[in-house]
Amino acid sequence: LKLMYVGTKYYGLAWQDPESAPGCETVESKLFEALMKTHLIRDRQSCSYSRCGRTDKGVHAAGNYFALQLRVKPRKEGSAEEAEDYDYPSILNGVLPKDIRVLASARAPAGFDARFSCVYRMYQYYFPLGGENLALMREAAQHFVGEHDFRNFCKMDVENVTNYTRRVLSVSVEGKPGDVGEFAVTGVAFLWHQVRCMAAVLLMVGSGLEEPGVVR
């Protein structure tokens, strides 16, 4: 499934146990409610669910991907043909909140995992322009490209992460209409809060508080 969502009112993407985190609605909690309500899955644990990437509280997605096993149409009696799929986007969009939409669905090959089969991930970080030097920000951003230890550009997660090396494929810093700036980054994988930490340092460079070489 390909989903888009406005994350403003959600406590991130990932499902949270309602007993330990009461009242913390997430994008996945709404997605699983819709999947259960439409009887497309039996339960959350048995549908072989995987997600491409997590997003934090208030973060939006224009296209995040999820893999799971969904109910298919019953075969006709005596038919040897493969069972057909339902129109999953239409079914789910009929019960999902308006700020979560299923854009498309497609069958995946056997063994596909939305997280580990992902080739790359793209993030865009938007900020109001306030006189920042975008040329210096671009210069600094180029130091991110390649394979580096990003432990100084993330929120440390010492319990779950031991390798802080990540590969960034491309970066860009551009001005957009409406006095908005965009920092776009493509990479194989990212650490917790890595993109926002990268953006924060670039904004310091753009404001003249740091030199572009601080990224090295």
Known catalytic residues are 56
Instruction: Determine the Cα–Cα distance for residues 146 and 161; give it in Å rounded to an integer.
Output: 20
Instruction: Determine the Cα–Cα distance for residues 74 and 56; give it in Å rounded to an integer.
Output: 38
What is the 3 state secondary structure string of 110-156?
Answer: CCCCCCCCCCCEEEEEEEECCCCCHHHHHHHHHHHCEEEECHHHCCC
Instruction: Determine the Cα–Cα distance for residues 156 and 144; give it in Å rounded to an integer.
Output: 18
Label the pairing between strands 121-128 and 100-104.
unpaired
Beta bridge partners of 148: 166
CB contact at 8 A, 207 and 151? no
Instruction: Determine the Cα–Cα distance for residues 173 and 185; give it in Å rounded to an integer.
Output: 9
Nearest to 83, CA basis, from 93, 97, 72: 72
